[in-house]
Structure 1
Amino acid sequence: MSIEEYQDIIQPRRTELSNYAWTARTLQPTVSFKILPRPFPESHKQNVFKSVKVMELIKEISQKENVNQPEIKQRLLLILDEIGYTKNIQIIRWLAYILTKIFLKITSGIFVNYAGIQKVKSRMGDCPVIFVPSHRSYADFIIFSYILFFYDIEIPAIAAGMDFHGMAGVGEMLRNTGAFFMRRTYNNDTLYWASFKEYVNSLVSKGDLPIEFFIEGTRSRSNKSIAPKYGLINMVLKAYFLKQVPDIMLVPVSINYDRILEETLFAFELLGIPKPKESTSGFFKSLKIVKERYGCIYFHFGEPIYVREFLQDKLTQSQHSFGSIQLHEISEAEKRLIPLLAYEIIRKQQQSTVISYFNLIALILNNNLTRGQELTSNQELIREIRTLRETLRSWGATIFEKHIDDEIEESLLVHQNLIRRDKNMIGLFRKTISVGNLNPEKLKAHSLSEVIISYSVPFVMLQVYANPVLHYLVDAALLVIILRSCGRMDKDVLYSHFCILRSLFFYEFILLENLYKMHFEEALLQLSNEKLVTCKQGQYDIYENNYLEEVLISSIQPFILTYYIVAEILQKLPSLVDEKTILANVQKVLEEAIREKNIFIHPYCMNLDSQGNCLNSLTKMGLLLKSKKDNKTIYKINRASVLKLKTDLETYIPSFHVIKSFDIFLHIKSKI
């Protein structure tokens, strides 16, 4: 996709005489679903208050707790005031003006695929519209609303976490621009839970605003897709299953940043250092970002998914034909369809990922550092960017670019806090990091030394920027690793190995099992076209050792190594062990191995995101049994199965020879 297909919505603001005149313009916003008379924000609270289901629950609570119904109704009003959004157009205009000034100062542009958002806008009005963006930064929903304001689309009702609710001034400002708030947990408060579900149902079935929520549930600290959460999409789809609306249009949106505002915080969190609590003072401290540059931001509106079309051959006869519809819940059969839809949204977000030049630079530097090359020349960087750019384009990636020299210059300027340049050579910028006194009880894993944290943070940040490219590389990388480690094999055996690794990395590189075969065939074709894999007499093998093979193996190496170490550690721990103990032991082993500096071990292996993904995968595969006790996550280890997994992973370690780091395996084994 070329730059011409994206519109920089900030550019017009750079040339106009008055930004205020633009924010004060007459608005005729396009609504999601045409309803007359138009509902007000208070209408949704009233709908919940009159709900048959909620009224029945109030009677039950009254009898159970021996409390008068008026008192419970008063609790309900307080809950609805906590949840509900409002709309204040003056605050929206004021924010648009302030944000314009900030974006003009810190960004090189906010780019939106014009055809994508116009297609969505042209189809609005006939059914509820649900925007489902990827979640990479706290800035996501603010910029998203700004984009809709630019295109004169109604600002959505936005599902926001209670983290913001408690921030004095900020919470109310967000509420006035469409945010409705949800608790992370409801502690068996059945009245709250029922009220929230009814509130969302009212937004969908009786509202005319779009709705926006993040299906991943939280920001992805790794800058990769994470497994979807089903809570909100379950509530949203209820209106369709109960035939309260004719259809629902889900709009997947991919958000990508040249530089993420929280990049350093994310690196700390991945290493187990807890994030600071959101506060108003913290919010104002964060405004120091106006002194720095963050490059471009990319929003890609994907092809809408219509629920009726997606589910038409999967739904059986409706089970909601009799009795009061307000008392119905979606059936178990309908619930089983929700993961298919949720993962399809993630897949479309991945397909819409926009790769920037710095993503390619991060991938290249990661590869060079993995094979022991500290510095990369400008000429080498340009050559390798061109090689990867052409390969990735042919593999379906959208790479956003202008002139290559200008793009590299801009990338290095934006990331001068991470990348150093000495004459014609570039490498990682190293500096001492002080994290102060940390309470070991609040750490998520091992108490890493400041020396190791200072060393590791730049590597972790670099990997975070390489991660968005991995969606396009992972399938080919797995095939190369299998063939390079195991040698020549026929297609069925190769596919069997591929399925083992794909299943193991289920939470790392999101993909449903029913798509394994398609991805396998596509990756095999891609590698054949690149002359990296050859087939003779029905046997597949590596054709030649080249640069692309190096990049593919080094891109996946930290993940294979992390999972291998987790399996090794699980063999040494008691059969019943809590999650923090597992993570702390993995980090401790890696810290010792990294500190010796006998051999390069990528510090990203210490990230808790991948270690947690590994434990989730092993639980899904039945190798671990997960339970809760005293607010701790406890795992029961199936040692025989974990031992087999460890042995399987050892099969793929020989591929590390290609990037001259096979000795990592032996070095790590000596530490465990």
Structure 2
Amino acid sequence: MLNWNKIYYMLLDLPIKLLVRSKVIPTNLRTEVYFDSLKSMIYVLPYNSKVDLLTLRIQCLRQDLPDPLVPLNIDGVILPRYIFIHDQPCVLSLYNKELYFISLFHNYLNLHYANPALDIKLVPVSVMFGRSPDIESKTTKISAYFYFLKKIKKIFTVLWLGRDSFIFFSRSLSLRYIVINYGTDKYITQKLARMARIHFARQRLVSAGPRLPVRQNLFNKLLTSKSIIKAIKDEARNKNISLEKAKKNTIKLMEEISANFSYETIRLFDRVLSWTWNRLYQRFYIFNIERVRQLAEMGHNIVYVPCHRSHMDYLLLSYVLYHQGLAPPYIAAGINLNFWPIGTVLRRLGAFFIRRTFKGSKLYSIIFREYLSELFMHGCSVEYFIEGGRSRTGRLLEPKTGTLTMTVQAILRGVSRPITLIPIYIGYEHVMEVESYKEELHGLPKKKEGFWQMMRGLRKLCNFGQVYFNFGEPLILGTWLSQKVPQWRDHIDTIEIQRPTWLASIVHEIAITLMVRINNAATANSINLCSTVLLASRQLSLSRPQFLAQLACYLELLRNIPYSLEITVPDLTPEALLTYALEMNKFTVEYNTISDVICLSRDQAVLMTYYRNNIQHLLILPSLVANIIFRHPGVNRTQLQKTIMLLYPLLKAELFMRYSEKELSPLIDSIIDELTRQGLIDVNKMQFYPEKIFLHVLKLLAESISETLQRYAIIFSLLNKNSKLNRSMLENKSYMIAQQLSILHWINASGFFDKAVFSTLVLTLRNEEYINDTGDIVNRKVSKIYNILSKLVTSDVLSTIENSILPISKLASKDAFGEQ
């Protein structure tokens, strides 16, 4: 480097170090960028900017990466370690001349041709000061003759956005691979440069998002939609009002729904939320985010579909995505959050509001569908909660398919970019609403969201532990439709005329698949694991050795027979997990001279069922195997498998489990082998017996499914004793008996008598033909499974259930069984 260049860089380096604080994306550079050889690297930047280059250099030195200002010396040939794709405009030049970077590319390719052992890696790097998307009506092109204005603008950009800068490293590209497969001529270098330009344009789109529509222009465009024009006319005719009045009502609904995205608000709240999260949460764990980034860079429209457990979900997810280099999504938020001042703030953060139901307002439904379709047309990423509302029990809720249907309709209307659904599991160690959930499940009315309730909620803020984000297996909508409905493209642009007959069934299948994939990405942590251990004990207490032995059993089951390839299991020891859980003040310890006792009060136990339910599906089958062996010593493999095969469809529907019937048999064998390896069961002449030495571990494992089996026993006992129950009565009576059972037998689970669980169970009974299409009970099948369940629950619980059913039998005999 020339001396004057060194002086120039030294002078420029000092203010940059003072003014710039950049974030590196991705955070795990070695994994995602694939740095095979650090010595032979070249940084490829989009623009000729010394500020960008020095900003990159600061981070490279911090990350132990090669200094971009130190040139490469290859066989005596000295070439720079950085390349600018867009050279600075030449004001005085009146003709096009070969760009410098193309000749550099060509030189590097020629070196590979002469040296077969050489393999230089190109690493594309984008340096962004701020990530504000452009405005549609605003032109950003600046003539080369005003290049000096860009320099001035850059100075102010660094002053204003220097601490909001990002450095995006993309996957490295092997020049050796290019030479082998494509050669070294000038055409290849030009093509390589063109591909680099496209890549940087896509990187900008991924991180900042598409150009923002002017809100009024968006309204005007929606008003020209054929669907909305027709809906306005129908509104005027049905309500006997003028077209002008109907149009004003339409605009009012658009204002109620639509977001008012503002990058400055996002930047401000990034500061506020960073300060808040650092005090509330110890750490964020993020898994599989790279698959989302790759899809976004390939040009996919991303739809984030997370589970919904807290009001924190959308704030945390947008925050995480922003800091992972992805544009914040537009979020479908409940209309209950549209109160002052939160509603205004959320709109500017990208929230658009949705009513709980569209019934009674066809105009609203059409406007919302058109608005959502317009977001997809613009290439915006979108987030919505397929469960509709927050889970009060910790399990996934039955999916609501309205917004998902509109998403499928958007692709049928010819959206140019592929739409991909990303299921997301969000795991908490503390949910701030869990106490209010308990009250709601016990019959108290849901508290309406408002400013003062929000202020009261702020007083409850404390140490919330760690949060886990696991991005599940993507569902590419177009590919899915091609597999399930090969002729779906025939319906493109006809969606306005008639909905395809297959739409409802396909949307339901997609919804269930998304729920299964959310559960496939579940995250086990110290709180939900320790809750699972203690809640299996009837006394809600265990000695420390018993507790650690049980925790070790669960960890080995999850590690040796993983529920799916995407679940995450802590790599800590049982002792470390227990120590952390005690530090979170979720459990209490009673000290004595023999051994410490880990315990829960009854009130604590009800709250902790929420966290246990987050991962109940991970251990439910091992628990069922243990329960059958514990209560039926000497059961053989065939009997065991037949029993599980009968019960599994109920578990699958309730917990959105992933296994097919074909996968179940080898899985049961794997569980038996693992329990045998752990010394919990003994195999004697192909029969299974509890191992006495570790009987307490097997018993606690068996108890984890006891509440589920008790619920099944309630509903099948009702069906077995009452052939004249209709669906509504079956659900209500099951709920009432479960509530009574929880009081009499101290069942410490608020979700035990959740009405939604019984509603799902009754629907499953119909799908599995325990109840036929005419509403009649198939007595033979019901009796068979009732006999199985009656032997898997304790005699005192079964006696309470049967005694509770006697008065119902007399009442039900007066009613004719019919479908309601």
- Report TM bin, short chain: 0.7 to 0.9
Q: Which residue of 1 aligns with 2:336?
A: 163
Aligned equivalent of 1:505, options 645, 648, 651: 651
Matched, 1:190 2:356: no
Aligned equivalent of 2:547, options 369, 381, 384: 381
Higher relative contact order (CA 8 A, sep 6+): 1
Matched, 1:260 2:431: yes
Structure 2 vs 1, CA of residues 563 and 99 (structure 1 numbering), >3 Å: closer, same or farther? same
Structure 2 vs 1, CA of residues 309 and 327 (structure 1 numbering), >3 Å: closer, same or farther? closer
The answer to whether the 8 Å contact 1:242/1:320 transfers is no
Q: Tell me which amino acid in the other structure corresponds to 1:78.
A: K
Residues 319-343 of structure 1: per-residue CA shift (max 9 Å, x gap):
6468x65724541224422233222
The answer to whether the 8 Å contact 1:33/1:208 transfers is no
Tell me, in whole angstroms, the C-alpha distance in 2 between the residues paired with 1:419 and 1:263.
19
Tell me, in whole angstroms, the C-alpha distance in 1 between the residues paired with 2:418 and 2:352.
23
Tell me the CA shift for residue 46 of structure 1. Answer: 3.5
Matched, 1:95 2:261: no
Tell me, in whole angstroms, the C-alpha distance in 2 between the residues paired with 1:573 and 1:274.
34
Structure 2 vs 1, CA of residues 665 and 160 (structure 1 numbering), >3 Å: closer, same or farther? same
Matched, 1:135 2:280: no
Tell me, in whole angstroms, the C-alpha distance in 2 between the residues paired with 1:328 and 1:95.
43
Tell me the CA shift for residue 236 of structure 1. Answer: 1.0
1:530 is paired with a residue whose SS is helix
Q: Which residue of 1 aligns with 2:757?
A: 610
Q: Which residue of 1 aligns with 2:604?
A: 458
The answer to whether the 8 Å contact 1:247/1:306 transfers is yes
Aligned equivalent of 2:791, options 635, 638, 654: 654
Tell me, in whole angstroms, the C-alpha distance in 1 between the residues paired with 2:465 and 2:571.
13
Residues 9-43 of structure 1: per-residue CA shift (max 9 Å, x gap):
xxxxxxxxxxx999951469854599976534555
Q: Which residue of 2 aligns with 1:450?
A: none
Tell me the CA shift for residue 192 of structure 1. Answer: 0.6
Q: How does 1:20-35 map to 2 (within 5 A)?
A: 25-26=164-165, 31=205
Structure 2 vs 1, CA of residues 603 and 305 (structure 1 numbering), >3 Å: closer, same or farther? closer
Residues 638-658 of structure 1: per-residue CA shift (max 9 Å, x gap):
5x54796366234234345xx
Structure 2 vs 1, CA of residues 318 and 622 (structure 1 numbering), >3 Å: closer, same or farther? closer
Tell me the CA shift for residue 287 of structure 1. Answer: 0.7
Q: Which residue of 2 aligns with 1:553?
A: 702
Structure 2 vs 1, CA of residues 642 and 411 (structure 1 numbering), >3 Å: closer, same or farther? farther
Q: Tell me which amino acid in the other structure corresponds to 1:361.
A: C
Residues 214-241 of structure 1: per-residue CA shift (max 9 Å, x gap):
1222222222223322211111122223
Aligned equivalent of 1:152, options 325, 333, 337: 325
Matched, 1:338 2:487: no
The answer to whether the 8 Å contact 2:393/2:751 transfers is no
Aligned equivalent of 2:675, options 527, 530, 548: 530
Q: Tell me which amino acid in the other structure corresponds to 1:502.
A: Y
Structure 2 vs 1, CA of residues 621 and 305 (structure 1 numbering), >3 Å: closer, same or farther? closer
Tell me the CA shift for residue 193 of structure 1. Answer: 0.8
Aligned equivalent of 2:516, options 347, 366, 369: 347
Residues 265-299 of structure 1: per-residue CA shift (max 9 Å, x gap):
22223333332111111111111133x21111111
Tell me the CA shift for residue 603 of structure 1. Answer: 6.8
Tell me, in whole angstroms, the C-alpha distance in 2 between the residues paired with 1:491 and 1:466.
29
Q: Tell me which amino acid in the other structure corresponds to 1:337.
A: I
Tell me, in whole angstroms, the C-alpha distance in 2 between the residues paired with 1:6 and 1:398.
21
Tell me, in whole angstroms, the C-alpha distance in 2 between the residues paired with 1:225 and 1:654.
29
Tell me the CA shift for residue 621 of structure 1. Answer: 4.8
Tell me the CA shift for residue 357 of structure 1. Answer: 1.4
Segments of 5+ residues of structure 2 without an aligned counterpart are 1-26, 32-158, 168-202, 806-820
Tell me the CA shift for residue 85 of structure 1. Answer: 0.6
Residues 572-606 of structure 1: per-residue CA shift (max 9 Å, x gap):
79845558853663255325523xx7xx7867634
Q: Tell me which amino acid in the other structure corresponds to 1:170.
A: I
Q: Tell me which amino acid in the other structure corresponds to 1:128.
A: N
Tell me the CA shift for residue 140 of structure 1. Answer: 0.6
Matched, 1:593 2:738: no
Aligned equivalent of 1:283, options 454, 460, 464: 454
Tell me the CA shift for residue 506 of structure 1. Answer: 4.3
Q: Which residue of 2 aligns with 1:516?
A: 661
Q: Tell me which amino acid in the other structure corresponds to 2:542.
A: T
2:269 is paired with a residue whose SS is helix
Q: Tell me which amino acid in the other structure corresponds to 1:498.
A: I
Tell me, in whole angstroms, the C-alpha distance in 2 between the residues paired with 1:383 and 1:56.
67
Tell me, in whole angstroms, the C-alpha distance in 2 between the residues paired with 1:286 and 1:144.
20
Q: Which residue of 2 aligns with 1:236?
A: 407
Structure 2 vs 1, CA of residues 202 and 590 (structure 1 numbering), >3 Å: closer, same or farther? same
Q: Which residue of 2 aligns with 1:447?
A: none
Aligned equivalent of 2:797, options 655, 664, 667: 664
Tell me the CA shift for residue 174 of structure 1. Answer: 0.9
Structure 2 vs 1, CA of residues 4 and 30 (structure 1 numbering), >3 Å: closer, same or farther? closer
Tell me, in whole angstroms, the C-alpha distance in 2 between the residues paired with 1:462 and 1:5.
38
The answer to whether the 8 Å contact 1:267/1:460 transfers is yes
Q: How does 1:166-177 map to 2 (within 5 A)?
A: 167-177=339-349
Segments of 5+ residues of structure 1 without an aligned counterpart are 8-19, 431-454, 627-635
Tell me, in whole angstroms, the C-alpha distance in 1 between the residues paired with 2:260 and 2:458.
25
Tell me, in whole angstroms, the C-alpha distance in 2 between the residues paired with 1:70 and 1:579.
51
Matched, 1:475 2:475: no
The answer to whether the 8 Å contact 1:58/1:69 transfers is yes
Tell me, in whole angstroms, the C-alpha distance in 1 between the residues paired with 2:610 and 2:29.
27
The answer to whether the 8 Å contact 2:259/2:350 transfers is yes
Tell me, in whole angstroms, the C-alpha distance in 2 between the residues paired with 1:476 and 1:59.
60
Q: Which residue of 2 aligns with 1:413?
A: 583
Matched, 1:214 2:214: no
The answer to whether the 8 Å contact 1:145/1:155 transfers is yes
Tell me, in whole angstroms, the C-alpha distance in 2 between the residues paired with 1:602 and 1:124.
41
Matched, 1:392 2:525: no
Q: Tell me which amino acid in the other structure corresponds to 2:733.
A: I
C-alpha RMSD of the superposition: 3.7
Q: Tell me which amino acid in the other structure corresponds to 1:181.
A: F
The answer to whether the 8 Å contact 1:484/1:542 transfers is yes
Q: Tell me which amino acid in the other structure corresponds to 2:378.
A: G
The answer to whether the 8 Å contact 1:159/1:180 transfers is yes
Tell me, in whole angstroms, the C-alpha distance in 1 between the residues paired with 2:246 and 2:406.
24
Q: Which residue of 1 aligns with 2:3?
A: none
Tell me, in whole angstroms, the C-alpha distance in 2 between the residues paired with 1:383 and 1:533.
15
Tell me, in whole angstroms, the C-alpha distance in 1 between the residues paired with 2:478 and 2:207.
16
Tell me, in whole angstroms, the C-alpha distance in 1 between the residues paired with 2:784 and 2:308.
36
Structure 2 vs 1, CA of residues 624 and 93 (structure 1 numbering), >3 Å: closer, same or farther? farther
Greater mean alpha carbon deviation, residues 190-199 or residues 500-509: 500-509
Structure 2 vs 1, CA of residues 517 and 266 (structure 1 numbering), >3 Å: closer, same or farther? farther
Choose 1 or 2 for highest CA Rg: 2
Structure 2 vs 1, CA of residues 321 and 663 (structure 1 numbering), >3 Å: closer, same or farther? closer
Q: Which residue of 2 aligns with 1:300?
A: 470
Structure 2 vs 1, CA of residues 411 and 533 (structure 1 numbering), >3 Å: closer, same or farther? closer
Q: Tell me which amino acid in the other structure corresponds to 1:122.
A: Q
Tell me, in whole angstroms, the C-alpha distance in 1 between the residues paired with 2:775 and 2:509.
30
1:149 is paired with a residue whose SS is helix
Tell me, in whole angstroms, the C-alpha distance in 2 between the residues paired with 1:176 and 1:365.
44
Structure 2 vs 1, CA of residues 591 and 64 (structure 1 numbering), >3 Å: closer, same or farther? closer
The answer to whether the 8 Å contact 1:258/1:358 transfers is yes
